[in-house]
């Protein structure tokens, strides 16, 4: 039985008509210790349950709890309905924890690789405020929104990513194999080379001589950037600051961060968590941008010293004027969660259009880059050949 100490355990047992004769404290268990040994491989192989599985779980739990089905029975149904065997066993483990006397949020907290701090905190607030059905429904809507944004970005980036990959491969092949051969041929013919030809051929020689440096450097950057973001807060802050300054996508990144902030703050605050706790939870990886998270930290400090949220947000230019107006209106009317939801709905509506517009600009830019590269190479080869033909005719 979970208890804070032996006296607390004795009190719990007396309340159900039992006497404590002996108590042994269980050793702290890892997140996977309550599962069978074979299932621990599932945790090592995956960083967490798929978002789709969590959406289905929240949908089913919201419906069952809303109609009055007890949590243990609802979890039993959810485990039977779950299509992923590993996640189904996690749900059955949650059911066992509830039957042993735990709260749902306490059971969820044992599996941080599946249920995030954000997820557990919202469930805790909903459970303690008797708003669990609404809480599950809010989590479902949030996860579906994240799923939709990820799908929109993936769809919009697919074609530019393929084209960009082909361009990079073409340029590497061109400057490593084709151009050096033409340069060697023209050198043998002792043709005078224009400046453009000298530049292009010089790049070809350089690429051929240093290809063994660029390939390891590419993989070093590919691996080093994620590791740097993970282990260096300064580097992560620098990258997120750079994202907000990009010409086309800076505004989009800012909108995504503010949308996550307003959406999460609305869900957490509506579930019964105090505004200070809600702000603290939002800056723990729920915004996706270190610059905005730092601003939220300062907002939290200002609120602690007596400022209103709108006053605190007004001091930080990273927050949009529309967000500031809506929060000010929400504070005035006492409907802060509704105001934040309106901001989130606005961004949810405009972000997909911004994503499509941004990548609509990127696609022709990539094609123009390809035309420019091919044109420069063609001119670099054609001009000395044209000069040679003129000399032969002369």
Query: For 350-371, what is the mean pLDDT?
Result: 80
pLDDT band at 392 (very low <50, low <70, confident <90, very high): low
pLDDT band at 27 (very low <50, low <70, confident <90, very high): low
pLDDT band at 47 (very low <50, low <70, confident <90, very high): very low
Stretch among 71-80, 308-317, 336-345 having the lowest mean pLDDT: 336-345
Res. 393: pLDDT tops 50: yes
**CA 335 – CA 152 distance, rounded (Å):** 31
Of 6-10, 42-46, 58-62, 390-394, the range with the highest mean pLDDT is 58-62
Of 196-200, 244-248, 284-288, 313-317, the range with the highest mean pLDDT is 313-317
Handedness of CA 294, 295, 299, 302 (dihedral sign): positive
**CA 394 – CA 391 distance, rounded (Å):** 5
279 Cβ contact partners less than 8 Å away, ≥ 6 residues apart: 265, 296, 299, 300, 303
Query: For 254-263, what is the mean pLDDT?
Result: 87
**CA 334 – CA 75 distance, rounded (Å):** 36
Give the number of other Cβ atoms within 10 Å of residue 138's Cβ: 24
Instruction: Give the class (CATH, top level) of 6-132.
Output: mainly alpha
Q: What is the pLDDT of residue 41?
A: 41
What mean pLDDT value characterizes the chain?
Answer: 81
Q: Structural domain boundaries of the chain?
A: 6-132, 133-394
On the question of a common fold for 6-132 and 133-394, the answer reads yes
pLDDT band at 45 (very low <50, low <70, confident <90, very high): very low
**CA 389 – CA 186 distance, rounded (Å):** 12
CA-based angle 264:112:150, to the nearest 5?
50
Q: What is the pLDDT of residue 63?
A: 92
Which tens digit of pLDDT belongs to each residue from 170-186?
Answer: 877 777 777 777 777 77
Query: For 19-37, what is the mean pLDDT?
Result: 61
Give the number of other Cβ atoms within 10 Å of residue 14's Cβ: 11
User: Which of residues 29 and 251 earns the better pLDDT score?
Assistant: 251
Q: What pTM does this model have?
A: 0.69
CA-based angle 388:390:391, to the nearest 5?
65
Q: What is the pLDDT of residue 57?
A: 92
Stretch among 96-100, 332-336, 384-388 having the lowest mean pLDDT: 384-388
Q: What is the pLDDT of residue 40?
A: 40
Query: For 71-83, what is the mean pLDDT?
Result: 89
CATH 1.20.81.30 matches 133-394: yes
């Amino acid at each position: 039985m979970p208890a804070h100490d032996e006296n607390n355990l004795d009190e719990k047992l007396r309340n159900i008509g039992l006497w404590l004769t002996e108590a042994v404290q269980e050793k702290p268990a890892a997140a996977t210790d309550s599962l069978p040994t074979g299932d621990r491989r599932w945790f090592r192989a995956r960083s967490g349950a798929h978002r789709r599985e969590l959406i289905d779980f929240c949908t089913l739990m919201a419906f069952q709890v809303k109609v009055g089905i007890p949590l243990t029975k609802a979890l039993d149904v959810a485990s039977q309905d779950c299509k992923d065997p590993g996640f189904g066993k996690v749900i059955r483990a949650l059911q066992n924890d509830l039957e042993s006397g735990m709260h749902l949020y306490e059971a969820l907290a044992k599996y941080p690789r599946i249920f995030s701090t954000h997820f557990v905190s919202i469930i805790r607030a909903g459970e303690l405020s008797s708003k669990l059905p609404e809480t599950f429904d809010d989590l479902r809507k949030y996860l579906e929104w994240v799923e939709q944004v990820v799908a929109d970005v993936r769809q919009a980036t697919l074609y530019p990513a393929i084209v960009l990959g082909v361009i990079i491969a073409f340029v590497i092949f061109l400057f490593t194999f084709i151009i050096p051969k033409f340069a060697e041929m023209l050198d043998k013919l002792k043709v005078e080379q224009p400046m453009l030809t000298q530049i292009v051929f010089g790049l070809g020689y350089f690429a051929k001589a240093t290809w063994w440096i660029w390939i390891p450097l590419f993989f070093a950057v590919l691996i080093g950037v994620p590791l740097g973001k993970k282990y260096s807060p300064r580097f992560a802050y620098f990258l997120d600051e750079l994202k907000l300054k990009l010409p086309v996508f800076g505004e989009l990144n800012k909108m995504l961060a503010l949308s996550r902030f307003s959406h999460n703050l609305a869900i957490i605050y509506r579930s019964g968590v105090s505004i200070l706790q809600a702000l603290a939870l939002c800056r723990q990886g729920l915004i996706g941008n270190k610059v905005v998270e730092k601003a939220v930290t300062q907002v939290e400090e200002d609120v602690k010293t007596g400022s209103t949220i709108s006053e605190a947000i007004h001091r930080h230019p990273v927050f949009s004027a529309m967000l500031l107006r809506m929060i000010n209106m929400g504070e005035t009317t006492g409907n802060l969660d509704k105001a934040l939801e309106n901001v989130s709905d606005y961004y949810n509506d405009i972000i997909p259009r911004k994503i499509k517009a941004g990548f609509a600009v990127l696609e022709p830019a990539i094609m123009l880059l390809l035309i420019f590269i091919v044109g420069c190479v063609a001119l670099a080869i054609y001009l000395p050949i044209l000069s040679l033909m003129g000399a032969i005719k002369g």
